[in-house]
Structure formats: C-alpha cells, structure tokens
Structure 1
C-alpha cells in the first residue's frame, strides 16, 4: 500500500461512509446520482422525484442544508459531510415533504507532509497536556486528569512555570485558546468551559456547551472560536456569548475523521491533533476538507519512555519564529518543528 493511503487510512483513522437510506414518504421520494449516497465536492448533483403513483405534480422546491437549490447542483461551495436534501412537493392542493441524506466528501486525497526538528526544549513530564498556545511570545498550557488539571504560563525555552492555577478536582481540563486578552479553557465531560483574565488568571465567567456535549480542543481565528468535541465536527462559537452558531464536518475524499482533539489556527487553516493517532490533520475551516496530514509518530520515541507516557497532544504555532511546537501527554520534551510540504 502506498504511503499516502497508509497515512490517510491508518494514522488518521478515517471512518468510511456507509450507505444511507432515503426516507420513504407516502407518495414521493428523492432520487440522486450519488453513488451509495456519497458524492464529491465540485461534482454535479442531479435531483429528481420518484413518483410511482404518477400523481400530477404542480411544483417542486429543493433545499440542501436549508439552502434552496436547482435540480442540478454544482457542489462547489457546500460544506462537506452529512447533508439533508429536502424536497417540498405541491400537488392537487396538498404539500408533501421528502428528505434524503447524502455525504459530500472532498474531491482530492490529503497531501502528506513531513517535518524537521528545529529545537528541543524541556517539558514537565507530569503534565497531561491537553491545550497549547503561544501569545506574545509566551507559551500557555492546559492539562488534564481529575485532581491534576491546571492552567499555566511557561517559559518554553527553560520549562520554568511562570504562572499556574489548579482546577477543582472534579474537572478534567482540556484545550485552551486566547482571544481579546481572555483565556478560554475547556473541560472534558462537565459540559462547561471557563474564561480567565489573561494577566491575572482570575476566572471571570463560566460557559456551558450547546449541542457539543464534550470539550476537547479549541482555537481561534481572531474573531471566532473553533471547538472540537471528539467527533468529526468542529463548532464555531461566538466569543461574546459563547453560543455554538455553526459547525463544519471534517472529511477526506474517503470519509469522516473522528476524534478531533487539540486545535491550532495556523495561517488560515485549522491544525487538528487526532487523538491516539500521533498525527495532525490540516483542515480548510470553510468546508471541513482535510487538505493534508502530518505523521508525528516518530517523536514519541524521542522522549523518555516511562509507565505514564501517553500519546502526542499539544500543538502551538509561534508567529515570532514561524515554527510549530508539539508535545504529548507526560512527555519530557517540547519539540520545535518546521513543516516540509512535499
């Protein structure tokens, strides 16, 4: 098997799409040219109505994800993932709704990138790293495990802890991000996150999750927050009220990628660590397309091997050096790397 396919299928644990059934209505159902209810981005989706009773139809209106479309649809600006087609059929003074689910996948397989190690720095081997982010040249870290979770600012070159607070024992800390001089930190299963003052680490508010039941990773583009919940979905949150306004579904040309974990916004793309796979997906935030993958699995062999050693987690971009920093759960090293695009 080619390396490209191996990384795409094995490292990122893609969930292949299964055939979905159309919802059968009393008189009509939707038919498409999608093979096994799956069609690629930039292909043309052809819609029609099966009318076995030969009822005289007065009008048909099609929608995909709430957007009105023609019966012939070029899928160029649609989000990837599971989408619902709705047909509103008017006949003989009556109206009937037919629906059908399809999956829109990417039209290209992910590129495979490699990396080179630029520097290696010390990292607290006891830290169960969940979130990592640079801000004004300083590194901020969120760690997990009940009774061990904390939020801290670190001198990344020496490993010295510059500021630290511990979370209450009932919370399992997850990802963090910094926007408008506020730190946003997630927790795993409690259904809530915390907002802190950047300078003092004093908690200013608590927010509840919406449809995303769990907290995994979080990043921002300078305006919006992006939150992962351990599935293929990344949720867009309004930083003013922390409401989940929308989401994207992360897909390759084969299917969805689950277990999206720690997130980092880098030059207009979302870098997502895939939990337990020691790999990172580079995602288009507009439609959820996985554009590239990076296999960081060799790094785990470069750290101290011990009983508590766990998987890669923690990715941060330093704009001052234009390099990426990665580490893992209970790793004794923080790696500064440069991505090599093949």
Structure 2
C-alpha cells in the first residue's frame, strides 16, 4: 500500500528527514457504504461529501451521527464527480475527465453555475483566496475561484522526487493535507513550495472499517476548525473516523 512512497525513497538515496506519524481513533461514525467518496469537508455542524461513479455522483450534506444525507443534489448521469470545497456561499466541485465544474449554493445545494477547466479534476481545497486543484499528477494548480483563471502551479515533492497521485485535499492550519491514491498515506504539503513536511500512515484503518476490494481506498479528509477534529474515511467504507495523530517521529 506504500508503493508510491517506497519508489520515491528508492529513487532518492538521501532524502531529507520527513516526519512520519501514526494515528489514534477517537470516535467511529457510520458512513454510507455505497458512497464512492471523492471530496469531504466540514462546515457549520455538518459534513459535506462529493461522490463519484457515472449515474451515482452527488453532493450531500451529511448528519455525522447517522451518516445519512439530510440534503443532496445529483450530478448529471454522464459526469463523474470528484472533489468539492466551500468558497464564500458556494460549494465548488469538479468532475473527473469531463472538464466541467459546478457551483452550488451551500444553503440548499441548488446549482448556480458551471465552468470549464483543462485536464482532469481530482481534489479541491481553498488556500487563502486561491482554489487549489489536484489532477492526479504531482502538480497542484492554484486558481481564482471567481474566474477559474490559473494563478500558478506547485509541484508536490517527497524529498527531491515529484509525488504523483495526489488526490483529495483539505487545508488545515495553512497546510494542504492530501490523500495519495491507492495508498494508506496522507501527506502534509507546504503550499508555497510543494514540499512534503510530513506524512501520516493510516495502515490498518481500511481493514478496521470492514472495507474490502481494490476500489475501497482511503479517500476523504475533513477538518472541523472550531473543535479541532480531524475526520477521515474511504471509498465504499461503512465507517468514518475521527482521528488524532500519534507517534510522530
């Protein structure tokens, strides 16, 4: 499960020291096991989730205690939903390969606009006034959320090696936290340089959730800034976890 990280280490014989952390489970919550989780964030007492798969993609406001949607909006059946994030009074979301993004009102999840962008869409987060998009490559694209005009790109690096498969994104205390697709790893990225400051090994959490299958990978990071709670889940996982970092070294 750590193949991407292992390849980066082997290719760089003398990487700089990078902190590694484990985790401790604080609480366990139910999660819809039919949800192919692509984006996750916390806002005003609720989780918001964007899911994928053609004909099944949606954005939803979730009740944390039950895992059930209290409001939802489906994407067109020919679109594969990906990451979502909040900007002002909107939720902004992207799709996988269609180059189409959407805007929804956060109060009622009604769509209020669409936009176009180049390349694939994977994860989204806000860093300051910029919308940050991952696309499966080592590059993060910084965009103006109002116009979607590209401002700059930053290459995510583990030591001196570019790290591909950067997926779902969340901003926590000025850092970008990112899932690395098909691994049990979350990386913590300096948004100015792209350098990985530390990584979090969540090995064993998929098995603890009772998830199986190659598609049921770790994906989904949400941060409750008010109560300082960190939530994680995965695609088709029947559980969502509040965790804290542990054994950082």
The structural deviation recorded for 1:137 is: 2.1
The structural deviation recorded for 1:108 is: 2.4
The structural deviation recorded for 1:304 is: 2.2
Aligned partner of residue 204 in structure 2, secondary structure:
helix
Q: Which residue of 2 aligns with 1:339?
A: 245
**Paired residue total:** 247
- Among 110, 135, 142, the alignment partner of 2:50 is 142
Larger relative contact order (CA 8 Å, sep ≥ 6):
2
- Taking the aligned partners of 2:156 and 2:71, their CA distance within structure 1 comes to 35
- Taking the aligned partners of 1:215 and 1:271, their CA distance within structure 2 comes to 17
Structure 1 pair 156/196, CA: closer, same or farther in 2 (3 Å)? same
Structure 1 pair 339/202, CA: closer, same or farther in 2 (3 Å)? same
The structural deviation recorded for 1:202 is: 1.3
Kindly report which structure 2 residues correspond to 1:169-248, keeping only aligned pairs within 5 A, or say none.
169-210=77-118, 213-248=119-154
Task: Please list the CA deviations of residues 161-180 of structure 1 after superposition, one character each: whole Å capped at 9, or x if unmatched.
Answer: 11011111100000000010
Query: Structure 2 stretches of 5 or more lacking a match?
Result: none
Q: Which residue of 1 aligns with 2:198?
A: 292
Structure 1 pair 16/308, CA: closer, same or farther in 2 (3 Å)? closer
Q: Which residue of 1 aligns with 2:161?
A: 255
Structure 1 pair 262/307, CA: closer, same or farther in 2 (3 Å)? closer
Structure number, greater radius of gyration: 1
Task: Please list the CA deviations of residues 230-276 of structure 1 after superposition, one character each: whole Å capped at 9, or x if unmatched.
Answer: 00000001011011111100012241100000000000100010000
Structure 1 pair 308/258, CA: closer, same or farther in 2 (3 Å)? closer
- Using structure 1 for the length normalisation, give the TM-score: 0.68
Structure 1 pair 289/241, CA: closer, same or farther in 2 (3 Å)? same
- Among 265, 278, 281, the alignment partner of 2:171 is 265
- Taking the aligned partners of 2:212 and 2:138, their CA distance within structure 1 comes to 31
